[in-house]
Amino acid sequence: MRSPAVLSALAAATALTVLAAAPATSQSFDTQAPFAFLKDTNSDLILFERGADEPMPPASMAKMMTVLVAFDQIDKGKMSLKDTCQVRPDTWRAWSNQGSTMFLKVNEVVSVSDLLHGIVTASGNDASVVLAECIAGTVDAFAGAMNAMGEQIGLTGSHFTTANGWPDEGEYVTARDLARIAEVTIEDHPKLYEQFYTTKEFTHGETMSGEPITQPNRNPIFGRVRGADGLKTGHTEAAGYGFTGSAERDGRRLVMVVAGLPSMSARRDESTRFLEWGFNAFEGAQLQPGKVLAQAAVYNGSKDTISLTAKDGAMLTLPKAIVSDVNARIVYKSPLPAPLQAGQEVGKLHVKAGDMPEQVIPLVAGEAVEEAGFFTRAINGFKSLIG
């Protein structure tokens, strides 16, 4: 149900201008990618999805989960970037010439930091396996840690069996889950994310003539999308060309996934267009902290009403071409029982713009309300008895 009072307060709280215009829709992006997903992480709004819950081979995008497990170990103090791992002879024989490589040598001792650069920047299959074995002893054991992490962060359609995404029938992911891995990596490990995912090139190993080998980051949106800072490409014959990426611009962060594309150039172009569309077709609006959106009745309190405000940092994402087709409603248990603390969550603001998914924003008490004294409670009880 549209609430004019709430809409008016909402417009004031976000400094949005109500325009009479044709609505931009959440599904108006045209892409050749069979799997695509785009989310504004500030508001948790999904801007676009196609085949987002269909299982697909992860290819090298599985390495994001390998990195996330490592980041988690590091930030919990269970492992250090300075720790070292040794390249086992069997591991070297299996992976020295298999796809993307960090050019590790047999029995080489390499730091965790260098292995992470080798995974993120060079997409090294060898680096992924060496790190997995170093952390868990075997790849199978590490895959168990990957799946445990997936359950912990709420993945619903993915299963990992490798540390590097090498083709395996038992391994699959969804675009929605890949975006979730990216989002958790960025939000839970910001310093490590910046240290490793924003690196533009990495030097390790040497040629037959002894020249150092420098590999550029394969991120296709670096230098093409303003604010781009991660994450990971992937490609196999079965999976096609895919990319999970993110960019932050003017305080808004978008996370995207495209997969199943026919070529490297298609991946680059679709990723660029997808993110630019997300930034250009939509805008973020932060609700002003403390701006009163409504008054709610209070039961057995030292005062009869309390102001409802948006939780600090609450964001909305709306199409730039609309705001005429916006519906807003407030949901809370009425009356609110005292005592109430300032900042205590007491309700939800539901906002629906055009055909976009509903956005739900927590509402908090704008001020504290103490429980009423004995006589006030007695009077309230008497009033309830007589109707």
The CA–CA distances, whole Å, from 191 to 70, 71, 74 equal 13, 10, 11
Buried b (16+ CB within 10 A) or exposed e, 250-277: eebbbbbbbbbbeeeebbbebbbebbbb
What is the total count of domains within the chain?
2
Q: What is the pLDDT of residue 202?
A: 98
- What's the CA dihedral at 28, 32, 37, 39 to 10 degrees? -50
Q: Is residue 226 part of a domain?
A: yes
Same domain? 212 vs 293 = no
Same domain? 309 vs 342 = yes
| Domain that includes residue 371, residue range | 4-20+287-385
Work out whether strand 212-216 and strand 228-236 pair parallel, antiparallel, or are unpaired. unpaired
Q: Between residues 334 and 19, which one has the greater pLDDT? A: 334
pLDDT at 381 over 80: no
Q: Which residues are catalytic?
A: 60, 63, 123
Q: Is residue 26 part of a domain?
A: no
Q: What is the pLDDT of residue 9?
A: 63
Same domain? 255 vs 144 = yes
Same domain? 8 vs 57 = no
Phi/psi at 33 (nearest 5 deg)? Answer: -70, 125
Work out whether strand 201-206 and strand 228-236 pair parallel, antiparallel, or are unpaired. unpaired
Instruction: Tell me the CATH number at 236.
Output: 3.40.710.10
Q: Is residue 95 part of a domain?
A: yes
Domain boundary among 245, 261, 277: 261
Which residue, among 202, 175, 58, has the nearest Cα to 120 in the 3D structure? 202
Domain boundary among 243, 261, 279: 261
Same domain? 118 vs 198 = yes
C-alpha 67/C-alpha 196 separation (Å) is: 10
Q: What is the pLDDT of residue 28?
A: 77
**pLDDT mean across residues, the chain:** 90
User: At a CB cut-off of 8 Å and minimum separation 6, what does 295 contact?
Assistant: 305, 306, 307, 308
Task: Give the count of beta carbons closer than 10 Å to the beta carbon of residue 173.
Answer: 31
Q: What is the pLDDT of residue 11?
A: 62
User: Poorest-confidence range of 215-219, 336-340, 364-368, 380-384?
Assistant: 380-384
Taken in order 54, 266, 222, 276, the sign of the CA dihedral is negative
Q: Is residue 66 part of a domain?
A: yes
pLDDT at 13 over 80: no
Same domain? 10 vs 91 = no
Same domain? 86 vs 214 = yes
E strand or H helix at 234: strand 228-236
Same domain? 379 vs 346 = yes
Q: What is the mean pLDDT of residues 244-261?
A: 97
User: Poorest-confidence range of 214-218, 264-268, 321-325?
Assistant: 321-325
Residue 165, burial from CB neighbour count under 10 angstroms (0-12, 13-18, 19+):
buried
Same domain? 209 vs 143 = yes
Cis omega (within 30 of 0) for bond into 89: no
C-alpha 248/C-alpha 72 separation (Å) is: 23
At 8, the pLDDT band (50, 70, 90 cuts) reads low
C-alpha 238/C-alpha 222 separation (Å) is: 26
Same domain? 51 vs 94 = yes
Same domain? 174 vs 243 = yes
Same domain? 235 vs 206 = yes
Which residue, among 352, 387, 354, 260, has the nearest Cα to 6 in the 3D structure? 352
Q: Is residue 353 part of a domain?
A: yes
C-alpha 65/C-alpha 79 separation (Å) is: 16
Q: Is residue 359 part of a domain?
A: yes
Which residue, among 138, 129, 116, has the nearest Cα to 166 in the 3D structure? 129
Q: What is the pLDDT of residue 2?
A: 46
Tokens of 273: 């267009």
Q: Which residue positions form the known binding site for substrate?
A: 232
Inter-residue contact 42 to 314 (CB < 8 Å): no
Q: Which pLDDT tens digit goes with each residue over 162-182?
A: 999 999 999 999 999 999 999
Q: What is the mean pLDDT of residues 45-65?
A: 97
Instruction: Tell me the CATH number at 307.
Output: 2.60.410.10
The CA–CA distances, whole Å, from 218 to 34, 116, 233 equal 22, 14, 7
C-alpha 96/C-alpha 94 separation (Å) is: 6
Taken in order 91, 92, 96, 97, the sign of the CA dihedral is negative
Domain boundary among 261, 295, 313: 261
Q: What is the mean pLDDT of residues 137-162?
A: 98
Q: Is residue 282 part of a domain?
A: no
User: Poorest-confidence range of 112-121, 188-197, 349-358, 372-381?
Assistant: 372-381
Inter-residue contact 361 to 351 (CB < 8 Å): yes
At 298, the pLDDT band (50, 70, 90 cuts) reads very high
The CA–CA distances, whole Å, from 107 to 88, 90, 363 equal 6, 10, 58
Q: Is residue 29 part of a domain?
A: no
At 19, the pLDDT band (50, 70, 90 cuts) reads very low
The string of DSSP codes covering 88-126 is -HHHHHHHTTSSS-----TT-EEEHHHHHHHHHTT--HH
Q: What is the pLDDT of residue 383?
A: 52
